[in-house]
C-alpha cells in the first residue's frame, strides 16, 4: 500500500482516483460526493483516521454524544433566557434590568471556549465539584454529572441572546395600544403581559431560537476538545489535522444539513406561533 518513503503507491493512487475522481476538478468531486450520498447513501471512506471504514460508520458513534450535549444545553438555556428577558422588560430601567443587561453583554462578548476553560479550572480543578474531563464510560446520572461543565459552557451565549431579544421585543410590545386596551378590559398587568405581550414578542424571537441550535453546534467544536468529549466537534478537528478529507467533507455536509433543517423549521414555526402570518391563508 505504501512505498519505501511512506507514501501511497502509484497503484493505490490510481485506484483512489478511479473510485473518488481525485484527479478531476474540485467542483466535480463535490458533485460526485453529493450524488453518492443522496442516491446511494455512500458518504465515502475514511483514509487516515480509520482507514477503509465508511465515514458514516465513523460518524454515527459520535453524533449521539454531540446532539445530547447541544440539545441539553439549548433546552436548559431557553427557559433561563426567557425568564431573564421577561424580568428585565417588566423591571425596565431598574437595577434588575441593568444587571441583566450587563450579564447579557458579558455572555455575548466572551467566547464559549473562554467560559469552558474558566469552568474547567475553577469549578472542575480548584473546587473539584465536577470532572474536568468527560467520562465516556459513565452512564445515567454519572454521565450527566460528567458532561455538566461542557453543557454549562455552551449555555451562556444562548441565554444572553434570548434574554436580549425578548427584553427588547417585550418592552416595546408593553407600550402598544392593544396592551392598554387589554388592561382597560379588566386584565391585570401579569395577565395582559402573558396572554398578549409574550405571544406577540415570540414571533420575531423564533427567528433566533431555532437557528441557535446550529450556532451551539459550532461552539461545541472547541468546547468538546477542551473537555475531551468524543463528539463530532473533536472528530472534525482531528480529521482536518489528519488531512482525512472524505471525513471532513462528510462532517461539513452534516452541519450544513442541520442548518438547512433549522431554517425550514423557523419558517414553519411562524404559522404555529401566530396564525396571522401563515402563507397562503384564506383572506
Mean pLDDT for 29-34 is 79
The answer to whether residue 251 scores a pLDDT higher than 70 is: yes
- Asked if the model's pLDDT at residue 51 lies above 90, the reply is no
Q: How far apart are CA 100 and CA 162, in angstroms?
A: 12
Of 7, 59, 115, the C-alpha closest to 246 is 59
pLDDT, tens digit, for every residue of 77-98? 989 998 998 888 888 889 999 9
pLDDT score recorded for residue 207: 73
* pLDDT at site 106: 92
Sign of CA pseudo-dihedral 277, 163, 106, 122: negative
Residue 4, pLDDT above cutoff 60: no
Which pLDDT band, with edges at 50, 70 and 90, does 249 fall under?
Answer: confident
- The residue among 152 and 214 whose pLDDT is bigger is 152
90-94, 217-221, 279-283 — which one is most confidently predicted on average? 90-94
Give the helix ranges, DSSP H, for the chain: 10-20, 26-35, 55-60, 63-90, 95-109, 112-118, 141-146, 148-173, 177-184, 189-192, 198-209, 212-226, 232-241, 245-273
pTM summary value: 0.77
Amino acid at each position: 500500500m505504501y512505498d519505501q518513503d511512506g507514501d501511497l503507491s502509484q497503484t493505490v493512487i490510481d485506484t483512489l482516483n478511479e473510485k473518488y475522481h481525485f484527479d478531476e476538478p474540485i467542483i466535480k468531486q463535490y458533485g460526485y460526493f453529493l450524488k453518492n450520498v443522496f442516491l446511494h447513501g455512500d458518504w465515502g471512506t475514511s483514509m487516515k483516521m480509520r482507514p477503509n471504514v465508511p465515514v458514516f460508520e465513523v460518524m454515527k458513534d459520535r453524533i449521539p454524544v454531540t446532539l445530547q450535549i447541544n440539545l441539553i444545553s439549548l433546552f436548559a438555556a431557553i427557559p433561563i433566557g426567557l425568564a431573564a428577558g421577561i424580568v428585565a422588560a417588566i423591571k425596565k430601567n431598574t437595577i434588575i434590568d441593568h444587571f441583566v443587561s450587563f450579564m447579557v453583554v458579558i455572555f455575548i462578548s466572551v467566547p464559549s471556549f473562554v467560559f469552558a476553560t474558566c469552568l474547567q479550572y475553577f469549578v472542575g480543578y480548584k473546587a473539584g465539584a465536577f470532572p474536568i474531563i468527560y467520562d465516556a464510560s459513565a452512564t445515567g446520572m454519572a454521565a450527566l454529572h460528567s458532561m455538566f461543565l461542557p453543557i454549562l459552557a455552551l449555555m451562556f451565549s444562548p441565554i444572553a441572546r434570548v434574554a436580549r431579544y425578548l427584553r427588547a421585543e417585550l418592552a416595546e410590545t408593553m407600550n402598544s395600544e392593544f396592551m392598554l386596551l387589554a388592561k382597560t378590559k379588566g386584565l391585570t398587568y401579569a395577565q395582559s403581559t402573558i396572554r398578549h405581550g409574550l405571544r406577540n414578542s415570540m414571533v420575531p424571537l423564533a427567528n433566533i431560537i431555532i437557528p441557535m441550535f446550529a450556532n451551539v453546534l459550532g461552539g461545541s467544536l472547541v468546547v468538546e476538545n477542551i473537555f475531551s468529549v468524543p463528539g463530532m466537534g473533536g472528530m472534525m478537528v482531528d480529521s482536518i489535522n489528519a488531512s482525512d478529507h472524505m471525513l471532513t467533507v462528510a462532517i461539513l455536509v452534516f452541519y450544513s444539513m442541520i442548518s438547512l433543517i433549522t431554517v425550514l423549521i423557523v419558517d414553519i414555526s411562524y404559522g404555529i406561533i401566530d396564525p396571522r402570518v401563515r402563507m397562503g391563508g384564506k383572506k
